[in-house]
A and B are shown apart, each in its own frame.
Chain A
């Protein structure tokens, strides 16, 4: 079980402030909703939480049984899906999952079952991602984010580009994972906001 603690996280881009001192906690079994209008720094905030971007001020800690983890140790526990993150278009859906499973040292994972759970029909599993619609790509992205059973899951607009069926499947995925992971969802969609146990509003 991993808890993520962030203190006074702020970020500046070229003298422009995009994030001003956010503090809080991501706890196992809980869903934290990160809300705020476009440009309020939701994606920046998730990037900082993931350790992909260095804050201008403040810090982020991953704690496992009160022990602070190094970045090297928290990456394996982390799953991320975000609009500014893509998978390899020249590889098929299946090959993409295979690659990330191999990189993360996950063996004997049923990629096909996971893709089906997210609503990608078997006929598409072996087609290159370049030929996919954005909704189909989003489903593969979500599969990539969870295939290693992460204990921290960061979802940036998880149902972006998804239809009604897709939205239901993402909701199902979050329900299935919320008992074993600490989850943060950045969103403006009222249906996704309803998943939250707690929320941060970056606008105010």
Chain B
């Protein structure tokens, strides 16, 4: 199999996988105890979206570090692309989260620690792009954005791990729930769908990410050609 057809079949596989996960989440997964009606089904989309937002933040970190070490424009493209997708998924996670919160807890927004974390992640992404917009020189823009992203990454764990413990969380703790420890017990079928969705959304991120990087690479090549 050539690389092209291999990529193409991967793309189809991803499509089928996501379709399957969506169907399973809405139709197959059994109703979870302790939730209003079918509201819990949004979890199969909300949790993977939040996960991808964080994953993108990590990809951005790696690309930023690599840029500062090697100063290759492509690494800057990688960092920006990851940030753009991260922003998108953070927005999606915020929207799905507040729909769920409205149904479950009666309010769209509660300043629950995890809600606060995603808002700060959103603010960091927004600040990242505001900074990029404000620097005209390409090399300097890339370096400053990378430095900001790395610095921001370092402060994030404090938010996620240190600060939230100050308050109690309304959020269902999925990790402990998966171990069957608290509040609601996760059904094996439910866990399977959730893991499938996590894999599917990660694949979706990987596909969008490589696609955008490829486009940027082609455009850079064309610009170099025009200049020569």
Cβ contact of A54, chosen from B136, B139, B223, B227, cutoff 8 A = B139
Q: How many A-B residue pairs have CB under 8 A?
A: 15
Q: Which of A9-29 contact B (CB under 8 A)?
A: 12-15, 17
Q: A17 and B136: CB pair below 8 A?
A: no
Asked if B3 lies at the interface with its beta carbon under 8 angstroms from chain A, I say: no
Asked if B140 lies at the interface with its beta carbon under 8 angstroms from chain A, I say: yes
Question: Please, how many angstroms separate the alpha-carbon atoms of A14 and B203 in the complex?
Answer: 34
Across-interface contacts of B136 in A (CB, < 8 A): 13-14
**CB proximity of B122 to chain A, nearest CB, Å:** 28
Across-interface contacts of A199 in B (CB, < 8 A): none
Q: How large is the interface on A (under 10, 10 to 19, 20 to 34, 35 or more residues)?
A: under 10
Residues 46-70 of A, flagged 1 when their CB comes within 8 A of B and 0 if not, give 0000000110100000000000000
Question: Please, how many angstroms separate the alpha-carbon atoms of A14 and B132 in the complex?
Answer: 12
Residues 216-228 of B, flagged 1 when their CB comes within 8 A of A and 0 if not, give 0000000100010
**CB proximity of B71 to chain A, nearest CB, Å:** 8
**CB proximity of B94 to chain A, nearest CB, Å:** 33
Across-interface contacts of A17 in B (CB, < 8 A): 227
Question: Please, how many angstroms separate the alpha-carbon atoms of A53 and B136 in the complex?
Answer: 13
**CB proximity of B80 to chain A, nearest CB, Å:** 16
Across-interface contacts of A15 in B (CB, < 8 A): 223
Question: Please, how many angstroms separate the alpha-carbon atoms of A12 and B138 in the complex?
Answer: 8
Question: Please, how many angstroms separate the alpha-carbon atoms of A13 and B138 in the complex?
Answer: 7
Across-interface contacts of B223 in A (CB, < 8 A): 15
Across-interface contacts of B71 in A (CB, < 8 A): 54
A54 nearest in chain B by CB position? B139
B224 nearest in chain A by CB position? A57
Question: Please, how many angstroms separate the alpha-carbon atoms of A13 and B137 in the complex?
Answer: 6
**CB proximity of A23 to chain B, nearest CB, Å:** 17
A-B complex: 10 closest residue pairs judged by Cβ atoms: A54-B139, A14-B136, A13-B137, A13-B136, A56-B139, A12-B138, A17-B227, A56-B138, A54-B140, A14-B138
A residues whose Cβ falls under 8 Å from a Cβ of B: 12-15, 17, 53-54, 56
B residues whose Cβ falls under 8 Å from a Cβ of A: 71, 136-140, 143, 223, 227
- Extra contacts, 13 of them, besides A14-B138, A56-B138 (Cβ < 8 A), are A12-B138, A13-B136, A13-B137, A14-B136, A14-B137, A15-B223, A17-B227, A53-B137, A54-B71, A54-B139, A54-B140, A54-B143, A56-B139
A to B CB contacts below 8 Å, 13 in the list: A12-B138, A13-B136, A14-B136, A14-B137, A14-B138, A15-B223, A17-B227, A54-B71, A54-B139, A54-B140, A54-B143, A56-B138, A56-B139
